[in-house]
Structure formats: structure tokens, C-alpha cells
Amino acid sequence: MLKIAFIAHDRKKEEMVNFVTAYEPVFTDHQLYSTGTTGLRIMEGTSLQIHRFESGPLGGDQQIGALVAQNEMDLIIFLRDPLMAQPHEPDINALLRLCDVQGIPLATNIATAEILVKALDRGDFAWRELVHKYKPEAGIEPGDTQ
């Protein structure tokens, strides 16, 4: 069971709902997370249960980012609107950076999201189980001695 997060800017929310609806059977057996309104819209359009954080501008991106920083998120689908300035752009950039630091697969458009979900459906994310199995204890870095 993987932890998957959904985030969508306002003009991308309908696209996200349509996408998740199309792949609902793939997401059924996973722990799902989302920012506030996006999660609500997905739950209204599907039978999926989603743990909802605050909306993005109110800290939802940072709440998901906290899980990413701890390497506790396995996949993020973040449908961004590249044509609209976002008031919480620093939070968005921090989340993207954290995904790069932790090696968390991140889709920022529907084409990449579809490729990642098809890989998820094939079982190509089994490597994430190893990440969790061999995760260092909190506060101990690889190479540290006690």
C-alpha cells in the first residue's frame, strides 16, 4: 500500500477529478492524501476516501511537504497551472525541491501522471517498499556512529 497525494490548482481541479475517476480502480488499495478542495472534489466524484489537509494557500502544500521530507510519501500528482501566478509559490517550489531531494515521483501534468499511474498499476513502485524497509531511524544519518 503506497501513500499517494493529489494537488491541483483551481483551473486544474476538474482535470484532476476526471483523471482520478478514470483510474479509480488503481487508487483503491492505497492511502490517499490531498489538499483540501481537491480532495473534496475527488471524493464527490469517486468512491475513494482521502485524508484531506488544508488548502494549498493555507498550508496544505507544506503539510504534504512534511511527509515528503520524512520520505513518507510515495507518489505525488500535482496538476499545476503554469499560466497563473500562485500566492503560495514559495511553498510550491519547496515541495518540488523536497520531492527531488527524497526521490519521490512527482507528476506536474496529466501526461506524466498517466505514465506514473500506469507504472503503479503494473507494480513498478515495489522499490518504494525497500525505501521504507531500509529507512534510517529518525535523527540518525547513514554513516553516523553512536
Residue numbers belonging to the annotated binding site: 9, 13, 35-38, 55-56, 88
- Name the DSSP letter for residue 135: P
Q: Which residues are documented as binding site for substrate?
A: 9, 13, 35-38, 55-56, 88
Distance from C-alpha of 16 to C-alpha of 11, rounded to nearest angstrom: 10
Catalytic residues: 61
Nearest to 87 by CA among 107, 125, 57, 43: 57
Which cell is 119 given?
507504472
